[in-house]
Structure 1
Amino acid sequence: MRIKITEVKVVKNFHDPQVVASYDQHIVKLIPGYTLIHAQIAAILQHYLPENARVLIIGCGTGYELCYLTQQHPTWSFTALDLSKTMLEAAQKHLSKNNQIEWIQGDIHELSSRQPYDAVLSILVTHFIATSEKLDFFQSIAQHLTATGVFINVDITQPEHIDDLAILQSVCQYTGLTAAQSQIMCQRLQQDFYLVNPQQNIAWLQQAGFAQVKSFWQMLQYQGLMAFPNQIG
C-alpha cells in the first residue's frame, strides 16, 4: 500500500537558511524537556534494537537524533527523511564524516519498496500533518516496521483548557523564551497546527495495526508514545 501525505502544514519556512540556522538554539527553549525526551529515546532504542539495527527518522531536521545515535551505535544504519532541502543540508553538514546515513528529501511514501526498519522515529512531526491524514501516516509507518520493531512518536496534543496554554507559556519562559515569543507560540498552537487529544493518537495507532501502545513521557501538552506491531513482554 503506497500512502502519500498530501497536506502538510508549514508554519515556519524551513527552507529559509536563517530559520534553519537558529533552529537548534530555539527548539530547546520552545519544547520543555527537549534534551530529556532524546535521552529517553536513546534508552528505549538501546533496550529494544538489535546490534545491526536499521532506523528510519521522519523529519530529521538538522540531525539532532542522528548526532547522538550514530555516535552511540556505529553498527546501526539510518535513513533520514525531511521535506526541506535546507534542513537536510544542515544535517549533512553536522554529520559530514558519517557513512551510516542515507539521506532522502521527501516523505515516507518515497520508501514503498524498502526493507523494513527495526525502529521508526517521528519526533515533533505529526502535528504538521492534516487530521484527516494522520491515520494513513501511522498505517504507512506500521508497514515499514519489522515484526519486532518499535515506533516512537513525540508530538504536541490539543490543550483541554485555556489554563493549559497559560501554564505552558510560563514553562517556556522559564526555559528561555521571551514573553512575546511564548505568546506567539500559544497563538500558533491554536491556529497553525493540526492538534488532537492524546487519546485520539493512541486510538489511531491501534487502528493502524499496532498491537501495543505505551506512553513513555508526558510534559503538559507534549506526549511521547512507543508503539509495537506485536505485544511485548
Structure 2
Amino acid sequence: MDFVAAFSDPEAAGRYAEGPRRFVPGYEALHRMTGILLAEHAPPDAKVLVLGAGGGLELQALAEAHPGWSFVGVDPAREMLRQAERTLGPLMDRVTLVEGYIEDAPLGPFDAATCLLTLHFLDAAAREDTVRAIHRRLRPGAPFVAAHGSFPQRDGIRSRWLARYEAFAVASGADPEQATRARAAVEANLPTLDPHQDEAILRGGGFREVEPFFAAFTWRAWVGRA
C-alpha cells in the first residue's frame, strides 16, 4: 500500500484531524507530554525538527504551548503540508514546512526533535537509518520523542492487539467499516515491530537514556537524548 499516495488525497488530508483522535488513545495528552519532555532539555528559544509533520496538529500543540520555539516540519505528502498550513494559521510565522523525507531536512543543528505516528511506516532497516539521520541533526544532549504503532507481534497475540485497536476506534466514534478497513491495512501493510525492537532501534540510532513514557493499546512512545 502506498501510504504517501493515500495521504496525498486532498479529501483525506482535510479529514486527517478526525483519525488520530479516534484511533490513538490519549492523542492530545501525547502532544502535551511531548512538549513537557522536550522542554526538560530544550532552551526557551529552541529550534525543533518535526518529522512526519502531517496535518500540523503536533506543530500546533507544540507551538501554542511554547511560544519561543520555532519549527521545521517535514512530510512527503504535499496535501498534508497544505492542511498543516490551514491548521497552523498565524502560527506559521514560526514554522518552515519541507516536502520530503529526513534527507530533505536541514542539517540543523536542532535543539529537539519529534517523530510521531510515522516510523511504523518504515521497515526496521529504514527505521534505524531515519533515526540515525535525525540524530545527526541534533545538538549533543538534545531530546528526541518518537511515538508510533508498536505492540507484541507473536502469533495470536498480534491479532488480539489489532482487535483492540479496531474496537477503540469504534468506541471513539469511528464508522465500524472504516475501523475494520484500518485494521486490515495495518495488519497487511505496516511493518510493525515489538516494543523492545523499537527501543533497540532508537539506541542503535545513537540515542541514549531512552525511556518509554506512553503505552496505549497498540501505541508506544519513547524519549531519548542525542
Task: Indicate whether the TM-score tops 0.5.
Answer: yes
What is the CA–CA distance in structure 1 between the aligned matches of 2:47 and 2:185, rounded to whole Å? Answer: 35
Gaps of 5+ in 1: 1-7
2:38 is the counterpart of 1:45: yes
Q: Provide the residue aligned with 1:150 in structure 2.
A: 143
Contact 1:150–1:227 (Cα < 8 Å) also in 2? yes
2:19 is the counterpart of 1:22: no
SS in 1 for 2:71: strand
Contact 1:159–1:165 (Cα < 8 Å) also in 2? no
Question: Which TM-score applies when normalising by structure 2?
Answer: 0.91
Bigger mean CA deviation after superposition, 210-219 or 41-50: 41-50
SS in 1 for 2:111: strand
What is the CA–CA distance in structure 1 between the aligned matches of 2:59 and 2:105, rounded to whole Å? Answer: 19
Q: Provide the residue aligned with 1:181 in structure 2.
A: 178
SS in 2 for 1:49: coil
2:124 is the counterpart of 1:131: yes
Show CA shifts across 1:116-173 (max 9, x none).
1111110000111233311111111111111120111001024431222222222222
Q: Provide the residue aligned with 1:198 in structure 2.
A: 195
| Mapping 1:191-230, distance limit 5 Å | 191-229=188-226
What is the CA–CA distance in structure 2 between the aligned matches of 1:96 and 1:16, rounded to whole Å? Answer: 21
Bigger mean CA deviation after superposition, 180-189 or 214-223: 180-189
What is the CA–CA distance in structure 1 between the aligned matches of 2:16 and 2:5, rounded to whole Å? Answer: 11
Identity %: 25
Q: Provide the residue aligned with 2:84 in structure 1.
A: 91
Q: Provide the residue aligned with 1:102 in structure 2.
A: 96
SS in 2 for 1:80: strand
Q: How many angstroms does 1:199 deviate by?
A: 0.6
What is the CA–CA distance in structure 1 between the aligned matches of 2:112 and 2:81, rounded to whole Å? Answer: 20
The change in CA–CA distance for 1:139 and 1:60 in structure 2 (over 3 A counts) is same
Contact 2:214–2:220 (Cα < 8 Å) also in 1? yes
Contact 2:73–2:98 (Cα < 8 Å) also in 1? yes
Q: Provide the residue aligned with 1:67 in structure 2.
A: 60
Contact 1:80–1:101 (Cα < 8 Å) also in 2? yes
2:22 is the counterpart of 1:34: no
Contact 2:54–2:81 (Cα < 8 Å) also in 1? yes
What is the CA–CA distance in structure 2 between the aligned matches of 1:207 and 1:94, rounded to whole Å? Answer: 35
Question: Which TM-score applies when normalising by structure 1?
Answer: 0.88
SS in 1 for 2:142: strand
Gaps of 5+ in 2: none
Number of aligned positions between the proteins: 221
What is the CA–CA distance in structure 2 between the aligned matches of 1:167 and 1:26, rounded to whole Å? Answer: 16
* Amino acid in the other structure paired with 1:202: E
Choose between structure 1 and 2: higher helix proportion: 2
Show CA shifts across 1:83-138 (max 9, x none).
111111111122232311111111111236x2211111100001112333111111
